Chains A and B, each alone.
Chain A
């Protein structure tokens, strides 16, 4: 093949998606492009999307796995809506993802997988590569299997193994397209397959073959440069939400002088929190994989009573099981953080998809009046700060605290300006050792927290439990007025936290036509849409809540400054319900319940509709 003359063009924003069968290595490929972009200095945001079944039938729609990445020279908050490039390794991937590819976008397919059988599995009556239905796109058809088998000559591997390197071939083409050096991936391959040199060799050759292919193929006439972003100065790494959550917990342990105890039961998409923490034994982290979620949280209650920083992580179905125990932790006034990495519900729902539909569960699921603080991070990196904050509140106020992340935050990633432990505040605990005048249920005037006398401390033996306790001495007490008082105390304990958190400050104007109020992982889409709308002169502001229980003290005042308030959520309107009932504001619920995050344009179009309509 002869070299084609290419041009180079500069872009500030690109969105690509790798999609294929679960076995096609799309997550790995996406992560490699992400790493490369991050090291290059782009701002990035990613969205991995996995099938629910580990081994869905090969070639089926249910078995499609994808990884989306936006990289930019600007500050970005979302993985992008519309694709510039779609890699569709098989017909099922094409079927699921083609709708998101922009007109004239690049479509890269591995023709080897477009067999009659696979086409039929994907529901195609005829081959879309041949029937002209893809005319609107720049289609690049490559028999990647054949090419990698050719380049693997001389390497002693079965063809079935060799063709697993087609993902590296596709990655090579994209590296070429975006003028990237493949070094970081070659280094990665050498590390990952250190014990299998043939695998390293075949993948490296496939990667390079992809780059060469890009150089020679006619259809790619232009390559693109996305310059470095002007991010804040400092040292960066890429981080995913669950990892950041685990770091936040560990940082809180360091800052409170406690050891971490984690008790939990595996569940998607929360298991990684357990996986990460279980690798920090050298930090004294104790992880206990219990027999179910109930035992998971009960063990943390025991650990909390005995003086550890106690954490449990799960997803909605697990929280449902833990509910009775959360009530126990509430009435025994013990510090505890319950992390809910939310997923699509109800019941088993959509285990690998994201949703924000457990907010009211966190708010109300216990029997009796049993309020607990609720904190929600807004980006993968923010999980670190939010987890730290959840621990701080739990320890300062002596109560269970919910941290609501979700599947999108948990598995999404972004560049993270690495914090220093010294920048985080100290977390004083309420541990006491002086038995003089000690009463287990004496409450601090300001925080309303009780003291924490742990077993092993001389002279402070006491009993706690799920029966109502008398204010002060903590003995079982059925007195009506005491119950009234204790119920109010548990309520007020949450309310006083409002004095201890940041006030609500909207992004954009402090007052105006429209306020978008959000919480959790919708941050990126809302913020991007609002930025775009403001650029276009629309009167719109954005407020994102990190603390949902209690709300910031000034929230009511902020809401009143806007003519309309809209609340986009990945549920049927749960924050809306809380806001409407607490502030009597006629907030408009904007709901999406598809297991997918909002796109920038969905929010943007809604803004236009409300401001202009």
Chain B
């Protein structure tokens, strides 16, 4: 038996170069802490990224890593996973990387259901290029490239992922270390593509984008913890909850009129519910769902591929190259 790995084993010798106070540090630390818990050998991790502040991540992980080009990490990850299905593959991406330039690869990776984990650091801004609005920035956002306010309507990331056929959709926060740890653990355990949106503070170009959700004074009112089989209760006094009125959520107070039993119980296997929950992302009067929105089990791409190859090996003629190239009409010149 080899000595169990620790967090230290996953820290590379490269100096971390994010701005002091950047939310990326906390996520890095959580991932470095988590990896040794899986019992996987260090050489079997592959961390892949695109371009962006967030995408510097692989350099800081002492695993195999690939810092690729803007938006294209999902495709690179797919190729590596096909070549070596034993690898535990992690795609690190940003809101620009995954939803703007890489939108196409992002949705196609989800629909194919490789057993790959995507961690999208959503800071609702382009960090690396110094602060332009991103596909997740709020309408009207004033940035260097939108001095009069952005005209774009944003993507709603979990809805996009669900629409693309994702089999695991979750959300967490850089500041909630324990929560993040738990969500990443579940993402790892899910066999299939796991998509985790991580709200991440860019303290330089979009400071406080999620402060409602992270500040002690407000967070109990603004966070909605999703736990499979548990009622959707929130609030400082745990006295509020969600229930469905037709196909719309409404907030009810537990007390005289309603009891805990009136509150909707989360079911991560219900895709319609997951879609309704993700719709709360931009509704100011509702708390924001965190945790696992949705999980579905179906065969992964690489399982299906391995199956096809195995079948071909059994059902096709023996793989003899010389025979193959002689298998059409041949003639002899004497």
Contact = CB atoms under 8 A, between A and B. Distances in A.
Interface of A: 35, 38-39, 41, 184, 228, 231-238, 247, 250-251, 254, 259, 261, 263, 280-284, 286, 288, 290-292, 294-296, 298-308, 310, 324-325, 328, 332, 418-421, 454-467, 475-476
A452 to B, nearest CB: 12
A448 B332 CA distance: 44
A286 B72 contact: no
B228 interface: no
Contacts of B75: 263, 290-291, 294-296, 298-299, 302
A39 B330 CA distance: 7
Nearest to B330: A237
A233 to B, nearest CB: 5
A137 to B, nearest CB: 33
Interface stretch (B43-51, B171-179, B231-239): B43-51
A457 to B, nearest CB: 6
A286 B105 contact: no
A463 B84 contact: no
B334 A456 contact: no
B322 to A, nearest CB: 5
A421 B67 contact: no
Contacts of A475: 14
28 contacts: A184-B329, A232-B333, A235-B331, A237-B330, A251-B321, A254-B321, A261-B82, A263-B75, A263-B79, A282-B319, A288-B82, A291-B105, A298-B68, A298-B69, A298-B72, A298-B73, A299-B78, A299-B79, A302-B77, A305-B66, A310-B79, A332-B66, A454-B84, A458-B43, A463-B66, A463-B67, A464-B67, A476-B14
A300 B67 contact: no
A39 B329 contact: yes
Nearest to A454: B84
A261 B46 CA distance: 18
B333 A39 contact: no
A286 B309 contact: yes
B58 A463 contact: yes
Contacts of A259: 83
Interface in B282-327: 305, 308-309, 312-313, 315-319, 321-322, 324-326
Contact of B108 (A233, A250, A295, A307): A295
Interface of B: 12, 14, 41-46, 48, 51, 58-59, 61-69, 72-84, 86-87, 104-105, 108, 305, 308-309, 312-313, 315-319, 321-322, 324-326, 328-334
A86 B317 CA distance: 42
Contacts of A38: 329, 331
Given A254-B321, A282-B312, A292-B104, A306 B80 contact: yes
Contacts of A325: 69, 72
Given A234-B332, A237-B326, A283-B319, A457 B43 contact: yes
Nearest to B14: A475
What does DSSP make chain A's interface, helix, strand, loop or mixed? mixed
Nearest to B10: A461
A328 B70 CA distance: 11
A368 to B, nearest CB: 13
A307 B74 CA distance: 18
A305 to B, nearest CB: 6
Contacts of B308: 281
A302 B108 contact: no
A138 B118 CA distance: 70
Contacts of B312: 281-282
A41 B331 contact: yes
A584 B48 CA distance: 46
Contacts of A307: 83-84
Contacts of A228: 333
Contacts of B324: 247, 250, 280, 283
A296 B74 CA distance: 11
A324 B330 CA distance: 43
Given A295-B74, A303-B82, A306-B83, 18 more contacts: A184-B329, A228-B333, A233-B333, A282-B313, A283-B324, A286-B83, A286-B309, A295-B72, A295-B75, A295-B108, A298-B68, A299-B82, A302-B78, A302-B81, A303-B80, A465-B59, A465-B68, A467-B67
A376 B117 CA distance: 40
Nearest to A296: B75
Given A456-B84, A459-B43, A235 B330 contact: yes
Contacts of A247: 324-325
The 8 closest A-B pairs by CB, nearest first: A465-B67, A302-B79, A299-B79, A298-B75, A281-B312, A302-B80, A295-B75, A463-B65
B202 to A, nearest CB: 21
A192 to B, nearest CB: 13
A613 to B, nearest CB: 42
Contacts of B68: 298, 301, 328, 465-466
B87 A464 contact: no
Contact of B316 (A282, A302, A461, A467): A282
Chain A CB within 10 Å — which of B78, B83, B305, B317 has the most?
B83
A434 to B, nearest CB: 14
A461 B42 contact: yes
Contacts of B87: 306, 455-456
A49 B62 CA distance: 55
Given A286-B82, A455-B64, A466-B69, A291 B104 contact: yes
B329 A299 contact: no
A458 B315 CA distance: 35
Contact of B322 (A184, A231, A281, A421): A421
Given A233-B334, A281-B308, A282-B313, A298 B59 contact: no
B79 A288 contact: yes
Chain B CB within 10 Å — which of A247, A306, A421 has the most?
A306
Nearest to A247: B325
